[in-house]
Amino acid sequence: MRFFPLYLVIIAAMIGCKQPTAPATSTAPATAHEYTRAADVQWAAPRGFDLTMDIYTPQTKKKKYPVIIMYHGGGWLINNKSIMDEAAAYLASHGEYVVCNVNYRLLGDLDNSVTMDEIIGDAFGALLWVRENIAAYGGDPQQLIVTGDSAGGHLATMVATQGHKLTTGQFSAPAYHFQPSYLPAAGLPENGVEVQGAMISYGAFDHLSSALNGFEQAGNIFWQLGGASPRGIFGSAYSPQDDPERYKMVSPVYLIAPATERDYPPMLFTVGSKDQLTTPASIQAYLNKLKAAGHDDLEYWVHEGRNHAFLDSGSNEFLGNEFSRDAVPALERMLTWLNNNF
C-alpha cells in the first residue's frame, strides 16, 4: 500500500465506518436464494488469540459448492470480518458458492506485537482449515477461491501465489517461509497448497516501498485508529533500509515466478477508477509484471467513478461509498467471472 499525504490517509483510514443513509437504487438482480450462516466459527488460536470465520452456504440443494475464502481490508490495522458481511451474503445468495468470511490478526493485536508474516500465516491457516473442514458446510475442498480487498487483497494474492512456501518453523532467511496458524492433523501438505482461483480487489502489493515511504511512521493514522503505536511491521529489530529482503518476501510484486516454473490460478483484478490509495496504475503495474512472467489467465476490471473500499458493508460518507450502489455492480462482475471459471 502506497503512503499518501495525511489527509488522504485519514480518508482511507475511515474505511469501515458504517453510517446510516437513505437507500440507494439497487442494481441487484430481482431474485436471490436463501442461505445459512454459521457465525463465528473458531478455526485457530495462534498465541492464544482466537480467530473466527462466518460460513455462508447457499440453500439450492446442490451436493457441494465451490468455496470462496474472503479476507477483509483495513490496512492490516483496522476492521474485522463484519466489514465484508454484506459482500459475503450477496455472493452466497446470488451465486452458488460457499463463502468463508475470515478474521485474521491485525498488527496491533497481542500488545502490538503481531508481524506481517504472522498475518500471512493466518491467511494460509484459514485456507488449510477450510480445506480440511468445509465439506461439513457443503463446500468442495477441491474448488477453493480466495478473495480480498485492499489489505485483504494483499493476503489473497500471497495465498494464491506463495502456497509452496509453508513451514512449521520460523519466517527467517534464506527461505522466508510462512507458518500457518492452523495445521492439519496430517501436517502440512508436502507440496504446499494451491487454490483454483483468486479475485483481488484494489490490492496492495509492495510492503517495501510502503515502509520506505512512511507506513511504519507516526504520520500513518492507521496505527492510531488501530490503537497501536507505530512500529516496524516485523518489530523493532528490522527496518526496510537494513532488511529490504524481508520486506520483499511479504510483497507480491517481488515474488512473481516465471510461468515455466509455477502455475498461478485464474485471477480477476478490480479497482475503482478514482482510487487514490491503491491506484489503477499500481494494479496495472502488477498485472504487467505477471504477464511479462508468462501468466496469462488474468482479467482486469475498472469500476468507473468509484473510490477505494467500494466493497465495504453499509455506507462511508468520507469516501462517498454505499453498498447497494457501489458494491453490487462489482460483485456481479465477480459472479460472472466465477461462473465462467467454476
| Structure confidence by residue, pLDDT tens digits, 219-268 | 888 899 999 999 999 999 999 999 999 999 999 999 999 999 999 999 99
Kindly report the number of other CB atoms within 10 A of residue 295's CB atom: 21
What is the spatial distance between Cα 234 and Cα 242, in angstroms, rounded to a whole number?
12
Range list of H helices, the chain: 6-13, 85-94, 109-112, 116-133, 151-161, 207-212, 221-225, 244-248, 280-292, 328-341
User: Can you state the percent helix, strand and coil of the chain, rounding each to 5?
Assistant: 35, 20, 50
Q: Is 69 exposed, middle or buried (0-12, 13-18, 19+ CB in 10 A)?
A: buried
C-alpha radius of gyration, the chain, whole number: 19
| Structure confidence by residue, pLDDT tens digits, 184-209 | 999 999 999 999 999 999 999 999 99
Predicted confidence at residue 219, as pLDDT, reads 85
The answer regarding whether domain 6-341 maps to CATH 3.40.50.1820 reads yes
Task: Work out the pLDDT band at 6, boundaries 50, 70, 90.
Answer: very low
In which element (H, E) is residue 267 found?
Answer: strand 267-272
| Structure confidence by residue, pLDDT tens digits, 64-113 | 999 999 999 999 999 999 999 999 999 999 999 999 999 999 999 999 99
Phi and psi, residue 133, nearest 5°: -120, -10
Predicted confidence at residue 317, as pLDDT, reads 83
